[in-house]
Amino acid sequence: MFDKSTWIKLPRNVLQGHGVLDDLADAVAELYLSGNPLLVTSPTPERIAGDRIRAQFDGISSVSLDRASFESVERVVEIAREKDVGYLIALGGGKPIDVAKMASDHLDCGFVSVPTAASHDGIVSGRSSIPEGDTRHSVAADPPLAVVADTELLAEAPWELTTAGCADIISNYTAVKDWELAHRLKNVEYSEYAGALSQMTAEMLVGSADSIKPGLEESAWIVTKALVSSGVAMSIAGSSRPASGAEHLFSHQLDRIAPGSALHGHQVGVGSILTEYFHSGARGEWMDIRDALSTMGAPTTADELGIDDETVIEALTTAHEIRDRYTILGDGVSEDAAIEAATITGVI
Ligand SMILES: NC(=O)C1=CN([C@@H]2O[C@H](COP(=O)(O)OP(=O)(O)OC[C@H]3O[C@@H](n4cnc5c(N)ncnc54)[C@H](OP(=O)(O)O)[C@@H]3O)[C@@H](O)[C@H]2O)C=CC1
Ligand SMILES: O=C(CO)COP(=O)(O)O
Ligand SMILES: [Zn+2]
């Protein structure tokens, strides 16, 4: 008997372009949601676009969060219940979007994603990534019902946020390699479609490198398209595997050891140089990854991340412990091997 089945959840409306923030209410009206919204945001995005969103909805409430944590998720759930809201609008970078995504899952209501930075590929994905103690949960949640990515707003964000988004996409190269490896060695379920989409997204972004420059709205357009595509790959896979391998474990570990030092995308980019070295050796493709990152203005060294060499080595040797996800790191990289990899690749 044929017994395979799959359920792919994707957003219904994806709006991308100049000034589309002012179409948010129209995009929401098309979703036939009921009740008032709760705006879930963080301090900077609130300042930049909070009023423009509130102006479009009667009866909207707001909550501004300082960090992504289970506590923040609980706070949003509590406020949403208290105000009896019908759905959530997430406005900001990866943190408020992840929190709203998880809270909407707990509340069994929809949410709409309004990124203010093209800094990460969680804009569209059906995964929520929240740190807790010594670990990091990548939790299955529903993807947003709609995504409203205003390229005018995204282009005005600090350029480093956009280069972080580029690096999050470039890291798909090693994430897919890790996924294939886990499939071959551990029989982890692998989706050819999701793997190919994720890899193609990285290739297309690197192919457009010459058009990705500060001050050009076109750059925000190209990067956001890639972030959407990468998020769709995660939705097809039903896991963050197509976009998160050992380079993400390294970054999550840096978040624990040296919180707030660098942006997520920048950390995974440097992680990708290191893990590509483990995949393909000294003369391997790590140089291509480094060069692509450097062309887009993303960091390629510990120094550029603002993280000291010892911390990088500690994160690399302990990254395999953060989550039960098989990668090229296997059951751990020795300190000598980590120092050699980081030295040969010029990361330290
Ligand atoms: N679920 C998923 O599939 C994925 C989740 N992620 C998660 O997303 C997070 C990383 O996202 P990231 O966006 O880097 O993190 P943040 O949400 O912390 O945003 C980074 C910084 O940019 C600021 N910011 C946001 N928008 C603007 C703007 N327009 N102008 C100026 N500053 C701005 C934020 O301000 P403020 O501090 O006020 O918010 C914050 O200081 C990580 O936690 C990562 O794990 C990443 C990829 C995929
Ligand atoms: O950052 C992500 C993809 O770019 C999400 O990955 P995680 O599941 O490792 O949090
Ligand atoms: Zn990422």
Question: How much is the pLDDT for 245?
Answer: 98
Q: What's the 6 CA to ligand 2 centre distance in angstroms?
A: 21
Mean pLDDT of 170-177: 98
Token duo for residue 118 = 């093209």
Question: How much is the pLDDT for 187?
Answer: 97
ipTM of this complex prediction, to 2 decimal places: 0.97
Q: What's the 302 CA to ligand 3 centre distance in angstroms?
A: 18
**Cβ(113) to ligand 2 under 6 A?**
no
Give the ligand with the smallest distance to the CA of 120.
1
d(CA 63, CA 74): 12
d(CA 140, CA 30): 25
Question: How much is the pLDDT for 131?
Answer: 81
**Cβ(92) to ligand 1 under 6 A?**
yes
The answer to whether 39 touches 91, Cβ cutoff 8 Å, is yes
Residue 118 assigned ligand-binding role:
yes
The rounded mean pLDDT for the chain is 96
Is residue 212 helix, strand or coil? coil
Helices marked H in 137-285: 151-156, 159-170, 172-186, 192-207, 217-237, 246-257, 264-280
**Cβ(127) to ligand 2 under 6 A?**
yes
Question: Given the CA of residue 44, which atom of ligand 1 is nearest to it?
Answer: 38
Query: pLDDT category, 194, cuts 50, 70, 90?
Result: very high
d(CA 180, CA 188): 8
Question: How much is the pLDDT for 205?
Answer: 97
**Cβ(128) to ligand 1 under 6 A?**
yes
Please write the tens of the pLDDT for every residue from 100-139: 999 999 999 999 999 999 999 999 988 888 888 777 777 8
Residue 96 assigned ligand-binding role:
yes
Is residue 291 helix, strand or coil? helix
Question: Given the CA of residue 265, which atom of ligand 1 is nearest to it?
Answer: 14
Q: How far lies 3's CA from each of 6, 8, 239, in Å? A: 10, 17, 20
d(CA 81, CA 97): 19
Please, which residues have CB within 8 angstroms of residue 239's CB and are 6 or more apart in sequence?
Answer: 127, 138
Q: What's the 243 CA to ligand 3 centre distance in angstroms?
A: 7
d(CA 119, CA 122): 9
Query: pLDDT category, 315, cuts 50, 70, 90?
Result: very high
pLDDT cut 70: percent of the chain above it: 100
For ligand 2, atom 8, the nearest C-alpha belongs to 138
Please write the tens of the pLDDT for every residue from 136-150: 777 888 899 999 999
Question: How much is the pLDDT for 188?
Answer: 97
For ligand 1, atom 12, the nearest C-alpha belongs to 94
Q: What's the 119 CA to ligand 2 centre distance in angstroms?
A: 12
Query: pLDDT category, 22, cuts 50, 70, 90?
Result: very high
Please write the tens of the pLDDT for every residue from 202-216: 999 999 998 999 989
The answer to whether 119 touches 168, Cβ cutoff 8 Å, is yes
Please write the tens of the pLDDT for every residue from 273-282: 999 999 999 9
Q: How far lies 277's CA from each of 64, 177, 294, in Å? A: 40, 12, 17
Give the ligand with the smallest distance to the CA of 49.
1
Residue 51 assigned ligand-binding role:
no
Is residue 112 helix, strand or coil? strand
For ligand 2, atom 2, the nearest C-alpha belongs to 244
Q: What's the 285 CA to ligand 2 centre distance in angstroms?
A: 22
Q: Which domains does the chain show, CATH number per domain? A: 13-156 (3.40.50.1970), 159-344 (1.20.1090.10)
* Among 41, 44, 116, residue to substitute to test ligand 1 (most atoms within 8 Å of Cβ): 44
pLDDT above 90 (res 196): yes
Query: pLDDT category, 171, cuts 50, 70, 90?
Result: very high
Residue 198 assigned ligand-binding role:
no
Ligand 3 being an ion, which residues bring their Cβ within 5 A of it?
168
Please write the tens of the pLDDT for every residue from 49-97: 999 999 999 999 999 999 889 999 999 999 999 999 999 999 999 999 9
Longest dimension (CA), the chain: 60
Residues facing residue 127 across a β-bridge: 140
Please, which residues have CB within 8 angstroms of residue 72's CB and are 6 or more apart in sequence?
Answer: 65, 66, 99
